[in-house]
Amino acid sequence: MRFLIAEDDFATRRLMQKYLSDYGNCDIAVNGIEAVEAFRLSLDEFNPYDLIYLDIMMSRMDGSKALQEIRKIELERNIEYSNYVKVIITTACEDSKNIIGSFREGCEAYLVKPIDRKKLIREMAKLGLIVLFN
Ligand SMILES: [Mg+2]
């Protein structure tokens, strides 16, 4: 599996990378601009991501804007909806406006920080990316 972790906090990033490396390879972006760039590159190289973890609060370009850009690129490139990259928003803010906004922009799931291994794995299972045997 191929992951992109877009996260501006070093400690969170490192933790997520550690947990996810059991399931595949992780690329890292430290802001929204890099996240969009990484996504575009993955398409150009015919090596798309299976899952993007996208932090909302990031410098230069936030996660909401990055998600909009990613969906725009998919639309422009005539990618079939069923092949759209799965996006899980990660954020510290649990307010409903934020959550509803993220779903409207096209994310599949929403994780409230602090992130732990259980949360990460449970969401991947919910999206059908992995199967849990317990
Ligand atoms: Mg952040």
CA of 31 from ligand 1 middle (Å) equals: 9
CA of 16 from ligand 1 middle (Å) equals: 13
Alpha-carbon distance of 126 to 36, in angstroms, equals 25
* 15 DSSP 8-state letter: H
CA of 74 from ligand 1 middle (Å) equals: 24
* 78 DSSP 8-state letter: T
- Name the pLDDT band for 134 (thresholds 50, 70, 90): low
CA of 118 from ligand 1 middle (Å) equals: 20
Note the pLDDT tens digit of each residue in 88-128.
999 887 776 777 777 777 888 888 889 999 989 999 999 99
pLDDT at residue 103, rounded to an integer:
74
Radius of gyration of the chain (CA): 14
pLDDT at residue 108, rounded to an integer:
84
CA of 59 from ligand 1 middle (Å) equals: 8
Set out the domains of the chain in order of their start, with CATH numbers: 2-126 (3.40.50.2300)
Alpha-carbon distance of 118 to 38, in angstroms, equals 26
Question: Region 13-27: what's the mean pLDDT?
Answer: 95
pTM of the predicted structure, to 2 decimals:
0.92
CA of 78 from ligand 1 middle (Å) equals: 31
